[in-house]
Amino acid sequence: MQAKHRANLTFVLDDLAGRESSMLTELSAAKFHGAWVRIHDSGDFFSDPYLLAWLRICHARPGVNFYAYTKEVDRFRRLVEPNPPANFLWVSSYGGTQDAALNPGVDRVADVFPDAQAIASTGWASQEASDLLAVLGPRLAGVPANRIPAHLKRLAGRRFSEWQAEVDAERTARRHLRLAVDNTLPATEPRTPDHVQTPIEQQEAA
């Protein structure tokens, strides 16, 4: 799976126009008419040109329904929300560096929970029965965590949004510490690192 993902990414990076053309050809097949196609099983819309290519694909294949999860909140605010394709739905996922830009009172959002019971206790709606519920069901979508022991141990009973908030707080504390160190030590002294892995990065590194 990882090898296939790397091959697809290389194709996109080296020849985005070619990737767009191949997708348009593939999606012209009769089996896709009226079907729902999830953009990405993993990964995200990593650049403006890449997202714009998918928007063109959506416009060019109006008989196909597209949906996606994304943590690229700012990119979607700028490029999608002003004029989204009628056949494209998306849900913003917690657990990324732009969580603070999300408003669960307005935005359609998804959060990963330790289990189904944790979802029910918050009043969110689980999408476990069908992935499409994240975009067609209630606006607050709960995603049960994969039952992988190592991942559950890292999650430690938290939601992704809670985990990310802890990461953000640690990043802020380190930044403040670095500023304090910079004010008291010569510029040649080692500086405190500023990068703190997001929950997703920590899982991928495991």
- Write down the domain spans for the chain: 1-66, 161-205
Letter string b/e over residues 63-92, b meaning 16 or more CB atoms within 10 A of that residue's CB: ebbbbbbbbbbebbeebbeeeebebbbbbb
Contact 95, 200 (CB under 8 A): yes
24, 90, 79: which is closest to 51 by C-alpha? 79
Distance from C-alpha of 6 to C-alpha of 10, rounded to nearest angstrom: 6
Q: What is the pTM of this model?
A: 0.78
For 180, the token pair is 């304090």
Mark out the alpha helices in the chain (DSSP H runs). Answer: 2-14, 16-26, 48-60, 73-79, 116-122, 133-136, 149-155, 160-184, 199-205
| pLDDT tens sequence for the chain (206 residues) | 555 545 555 556 789 999 999 999 999 999 999 999 999 988 999 999 999 999 999 999 999 999 999 999 999 999 999 999 999 999 999 999 999 999 999 999 999 999 999 999 999 999 999 999 999 999 999 999 988 888 888 888 899 898 898 988 888 888 777 777 767 666 555 554 555 556 666 555 55
Sign of CA dihedral 146, 149, 151, 157: positive
